[in-house]
Amino acid sequence: MLSIILPAKNEEYGLEIVLPELIEKFDDIEIIVVDDGSTDTTVEVCKKYGVTVISHPYSIGNGAAVKTGARHASGETLVFMDADSQHKPSDINALLLKMDEGFDMVVGARSNSSQASYGRLVANKLYNRMASVVVGHKIEDLTSGFRAVKAKKFKEFLYLLPNGFSYPTTSTMAFFRNGYSVAYHPIHANQRKGKSHINPLKEGLRFLLIIIKVATLYSPLKIFAPFALLNFSTGIGLYAYTYSTAGRFTNMSLLLFMGAILIFIFGLLAEQITTLMYKNGDK
Indicate the residue among 163, 184, 217 that finishes a domain: 217
Instruction: Assign residue 171 the CATH number of its domain.
Output: 3.90.550.10
More confident call, 167 vs 94:
94
Number of independent structural domains in the chain: 2
End of a domain among 217, 243, 266? 217
Same domain flag for 120 and 253: no
User: Where in the sequence is the domain holding 271, given as residue range(s)?
Assistant: 221-281
- Rounded to 10 degrees, the C-alpha dihedral 108/113/114/115 comes to 110
pLDDT, tens digit (0-9, with 9 covering 90-100), for 193-232 = 555 555 555 655 666 676 676 677 677 887 888 899 999 9
Do 210 and 259 have their domain in common?
A: no
Query: Are both 226 and 251 inside the same structural domain?
Result: yes
Mean pLDDT of 266-279: 79
CA–CA separation, 280 vs 158, rounded Å? 12
28 vs 185, which has greater pLDDT? 185
Q: Indicate if the pLDDT at residue 75 is higher than 90.
A: yes
